[in-house]
Amino acid sequence: PRMTLPSLHLHAVPPHDEQAERNVLGCALASIQPVVAALEAEAFYSARHRAVWVEVLGLCAAGVRPDVHTLLERLERFASGWHAADVLELGDVCPTGANAEHYAGRVRAAWERRRLVVAADDAARAAYDPSVDANELRARLAAAAPASDLTAARASVADLATRARADPGAPFTGE
């Protein structure tokens, strides 16, 4: 009998969580240290959010705690397309960082799902190539989408949150 292959959903919107991305940015503007350490810029699906995050990381690398004003100044210099109203709105999204870890986890989970979609798509394409050995294909798929250690990531974020609460006036290093 003929095997029916599943649809690869090539035209589907990749997994993402726009609201969680906005909330993470809002938490960063509320000076929440753990969020900065917990996410890479690539975790953001929205190019606009990713651009803001790159500037937040740049501020942190310079030892400046991000806020609406420092971010707006940096965006005006390095990233086009952002206006004061956009940044002010981000500042209003999360006036507190109480749920920063939760939002960062949602952004990271969507990012991981996007990476898995890409790895599965690459594996599916390679599976049609008769020159690719099945064992090689399995190894490539395992290497492309290793299981994440979310427990360690959560522990790291929780540790940073504890340190930030213990000394909120400490200089910001992002570490």
Question: Three-state DSSP class for 153?
Answer: helix
pLDDT above 70 for 21? yes
What pLDDT does residue 6 have?
Answer: 55
* Of residues 117 and 11, more confidently modeled: 117
pLDDT above 60 for 28? yes
10 Å Cβ neighbour count for 47?
9
Residues 6 or more apart from 27 whose CB is under 8 A from it? 35, 94, 97, 99, 100, 103, 104
What pLDDT does residue 37 have?
Answer: 66
pLDDT above 50 for 98? yes
- Write the pLDDT tens digit of every residue in 32-85: 555 666 789 999 999 989 999 999 888 888 888 888 889 988 888 876 677 788
Amino acid type, 69: H
- Write the pLDDT tens digit of every residue in 109-149: 999 999 888 888 888 888 888 898 989 888 877 776 555 54
What pLDDT does residue 146 have?
Answer: 57
What pLDDT does residue 83 have?
Answer: 78
